[in-house]
Amino acid sequence: MDTKSLMNEMGGAFAVTWLVFGATLWTDGAGSAMEMTGLGLATVGGMFAMGIAWMAFNGAHILPPVTWMNIMTSDMSDQDMWMNNGLKLVMQIVGAAVALVLMAEVLEVEGMVDYATAYPDGQDAWAFDAMSVAGLVAAGAVLGHINSKVDNDWAMPIAVMAMAGLVNFESAADMASMVMNDTGDAMAVALPWLLDGAFVGAGAFVGGWIDENL
């Protein structure tokens, strides 16, 4: 993978984390009302921002589930494929981390809290749930079919907006936040980043296999 591809991945993750995912702030300290700084992925504004980001950072996946779809529908024995996509996943976290640092500098300090205050009892551990996994696989099948069959730049942003409540597209930003906060609750954050993406990728693989054999 060349340097430009890596920079595109990092730049795309930076832009989407900053403008779409944003940060959640307590307006008057811990326990008070909360407000979001980003557009939100499940909004029309977020959908347009996501589409523009994919156009601007050509070739970038930006979202970990999209990278996993690419992994699971490629030649699994290709070591270069694993290296390239592994670097994409890493650069997504780096780009998100840079965006979080920028937001921490720009936003009012009194509106932000540290990790221990936000999660005094830690985050819930990832737990296997058959129906949730089935939902991720189904979402991957639909997303994979749209990605491979629909020749329109706005198809995937609309699909991502529609599935924002089902698939955690923000897992790279979650990983960046976790790493920057002394890796608190590492397993609770890292497992969804890894396994949710893999289940979505598996769904894309199954959807492609069914389409080819019908």
Over residues 38-53, the mean pLDDT reads 91
Alpha helix stretches (DSSP H) within the chain: 3-16, 44-56, 64-72, 79-106, 115-118, 130-149, 155-162, 171-180, 186-191, 197-213
Q: What is the pLDDT of residue 31?
A: 52
Q: What is the pLDDT of residue 133?
A: 92
- pLDDT of 184 strictly over 70: no
Q: What is the pLDDT of residue 59?
A: 86
Task: List 26's β-bridge partners, or say none.
Answer: 34
Residue 2 banded pLDDT, cuts 50, 70, 90? confident
Residue 187 banded pLDDT, cuts 50, 70, 90? confident
Q: What is the pLDDT of residue 34?
A: 57
What's the predicted TM-score (pTM) here? 0.87
Rounded distance between C-alpha atoms, residue 190 and residue 177, angstroms: 11
Distance in Å from the first CA to the final CA of the chain: 35
- pLDDT of 197 strictly over 70: yes
Helix (H, G, I), strand (E, B) or coil at 132: helix
Cβ contact 166:140 at 8 Å: no
Among 14-23, 31-40, 88-97, the minimum mean pLDDT is found in 31-40
185: containing domain = 3-213
78/31: higher pLDDT: 78
CATH number of domain containing 16: 1.20.1080.10
- pLDDT of 147 strictly over 70: yes
Q: Which amino acid is at 119?
A: Y
Residue 160 banded pLDDT, cuts 50, 70, 90? very high
Q: What is the pLDDT of residue 10?
A: 96
* Total domains in the fold of the chain: 1
Q: What is the pLDDT of residue 86?
A: 95
Q: What is the pLDDT of residue 118?
A: 64
pLDDT one-digit tens code per residue, 71-122: 999 998 999 999 999 999 999 999 999 998 888 777 665 555 566 666 667 6
Q: What is the pLDDT of residue 177?
A: 84
